[in-house]
Amino acid sequence: MKNITIVGTQGVPANYGGFESLVENIIGENKSPNMNYTVFCSSKDLPQQINEYKSAKLKYIPLSANGIQSIPYDMLSLLKVPKETDVILVLGVSGSLIFPFFRLFSKKKLVMNIDGLEHRRNKWSKAAKWYLKISEKMAVKYADVIIADNKGIQDYVKEEYGKDSVLIAYGGDHVIRDIEPRFEDDILRKFALIPNDYAITVCRIEPENNCHNTLEAFSKTDKKLIFIGNWNRSEYGRNLKEKYSKFPNIIIQDPIYDIDILYALRKNAEMYIHGHSAGGTNPSLVEAMFFGCPILCYDVVYNRASTQNEAYYWKDVCELVDLLKRTDLCGDAMRSIAQKEYTWKMIASQYEALY
């Protein structure tokens, strides 16, 4: 029997977030019988505290798992890891500066998923980027196993630090639902959408996700777009919402957390627009691939790796507009790749092989 403790997420049940979805799906029905999980959760972020979920034990830290508090949150979680733990799965590098000290009194196996290259994200200040880069360096140096979620990240770790890493992506088959066709019809009617006659995008509203370029491209066409995101969280998002809400073919939609509604909207879309330019394998991209529609990706190495060069790629507004005008786009390859590479049962077994 292996005892695994997971550190670095908001916790479960998962509301949103790549790491949260990862934890949600490697515990429970996808895990092997000989694996016992303990998951650290934020009592600040999760209003309802329960002791157990999907057979995993839950422990709470009275700090937020996001923003500046994520640093002490991760560090305190590491210091409170149960004695019976065999392996610590650390998700993200926020608390990695404690690793040298942690190694002085603990020989427990550290398995580290470094996530995307956080220090390269435009949203962080220079000081934050410096801290994240140092944290990444400590994570790679002191962890027993490094997980990269994308071939681009794996290559980076080798080139930057001279270390090998294990490639494990995210699953996405949890998005496939069994709902009544009448429910789908009601959802499409609510948003005034026609099946296979609109595009969809789901993401955080940040410049590095090319939200401005996506919206500008659709403003130059008659193609319908429903764009789902946290528009009111930043000035960038609020400005885009004000500017592009005026276009009759663009629906600016606040976050939707109901997975049945999201399923209905994604299943009936003609195409999926993916503008992420940073990070590794993006969970929303993997999820979209299971619907088998054409995917129009921003052209970076991470997106090409995730889609195995079988999607459609754009670098600016003009190239995206040109793709939107095409009538020969096909997404069959996306579903085939997803079913082969991105099922949670397989992802869970890959993690367990490292323990």
Specify the CATH class of 2-168 in words: alpha beta
Asked if residue 119 has pLDDT above 60, the reply is no
**Structure confidence by residue, pLDDT tens digits, 77-117:** 999 999 999 999 999 998 999 999 999 999 999 999 988 66
Asked if residue 186 has pLDDT above 60, the reply is yes
Taking the domains of the chain in order of start, what are their residue ranges? 2-168, 173-341
At residue 152, the pLDDT reads 86
Asked if residue 118 has pLDDT above 70, the reply is no
Q: How confident is the model at residue 209 (pLDDT cuts 50, 70, 90)?
A: very high
Q: Which of 64-73, 185-194, 339-348 has the lowest mean pLDDT?
A: 64-73
Q: Which of 145-154, 212-221, 276-285, 345-354 has the lowest mean pLDDT?
A: 276-285
At residue 122, the pLDDT reads 65
Tell me the percentage of the chain whose pLDDT exceeds 70. 97
Q: Map the chain to HEC letters.
A: CEEEEEECCCCCCCCCCHHHHHHHHHCHHHCCCCEEEEEEEECCCCCCCCCEECCEEEEEECCCCCHHHHHHHHHHHHHCCCCCCCEEEEECCCCHHHHHHHHHHCCCEEEEECCCCHHHCCCCCHHHHHHHHHHHHHHHHHCCEEEECCHHHHHHHHHHHCCCCEECCCCCHHHCCCCCHHHHHHHHHHCCCCCCCEEEEECCCCHHHCHHHHHHHHHCCCCEEEEECCHHHCHHHHHHHHHHCCCCCEEEECCCCCHHHHHHHHHCCCEEEECCCCCCCCHHHHHHHCCCCCEEEECCHHHHHHHCCCCEEECCHHHHHHHHHCCCCCCHHHHHHHHHHCCHHHHHHHHHHHC
Averaged over 248-275, what is the pLDDT? 96
Look over the chain and give the mean of its residue pLDDT values, rounded to a whole number. Answer: 93
**Structure confidence by residue, pLDDT tens digits, 22-81:** 999 999 899 999 999 999 999 998 888 999 999 999 999 999 988 889 899 999 999 999
**Structure confidence by residue, pLDDT tens digits, 306-334:** 999 999 999 999 999 999 999 999 999 99
**pTM to 2 decimals?**
0.90
Asked if residue 165 has pLDDT above 80, the reply is yes
At residue 123, the pLDDT reads 65
At residue 68, the pLDDT reads 86
Q: How confident is the model at residue 305 (pLDDT cuts 50, 70, 90)?
A: very high
At residue 47, the pLDDT reads 80
Q: Classify domain 173-341 at the CATH topology level.
A: Rossmann fold (3.40.50)
Q: How confident is the model at residue 141 (pLDDT cuts 50, 70, 90)?
A: very high
Indicate if 173-341 has the same CATH topology as 2-168.
yes
